[in-house]
Amino acid sequence: MILVLSRRIRAALSAAGLLLTAGTVLAADLEMPRPRGKDEAPGAPVACRKVVQGKLPNPDHFKWDGSTYRKVAEDAYSVVADVEYMGADGAQRKAKIQCDVIRAPENRFVVTKVRLPE
């Protein structure tokens, strides 16, 4: 009886070990949400804002209402923002803009593409 019990215990322990190993491998493959607090790329929206302000007409009548960004690849981010600006005809307008931003050496951010309203 002791021999049978020890075989059962060994089988249970090996099954538990396999489950733990498989669980850690699966957990490593899943993309876990990043903890709140420190942003991953706080300079990406700032770089986008500077470029957009320079490209829109009447840069002194420009308001950045807010933005969100997401990581699309290693050191590459997509920034989407709501802006208010004064058009060339003098009318106040609201629009969404989108920028592709990459992280350059020395933790600088470079805007590679800007999608502005027409």
Tokens (6 digits) for 106: 């020395």
pLDDT at 21: 61
Residues 53 and 111 in one domain: yes
Assigned domain for 63 exists:
yes
Kindly report the CATH number assigned to the domain that includes residue 65. 3.10.450.50
Q: What is the pLDDT of residues 66-112, one digit of tens each?
A: 999 999 998 999 999 999 999 889 999 999 999 999 999 988 999 99
* Contact by Cβ (8 Å): 79, 57: no
Residues 48 and 100 in one domain: yes
Residues 84 and 59 in one domain: yes
Helix, coil or strand: residue 32? coil
Assigned domain for 76 exists:
yes
Assigned domain for 72 exists:
yes
Q: How many angstroms separate the CA atoms of 99 and 80, rounded?
A: 7
Residues 57 and 104 in one domain: yes
* Contact by Cβ (8 Å): 86, 58: yes
Residues 74 and 17 in one domain: no
pLDDT at 18: 59
pLDDT band, very low/low/confident/very high, at 41 (cuts 50, 70, 90): confident
Assigned domain for 85 exists:
yes
Percent of the chain with pLDDT over 70: 74
Is residue 24 exposed (0-12), middle (13-18) or buried (19+ Cβ within 10 Å)?
Answer: exposed
Q: What is the pTM of this model?
A: 0.65
Residue 34 pLDDT greater than 60, yes or no = no
**Count of domains observed in the chain:** 2
Residue 16 belongs to domain spanning: 1-32
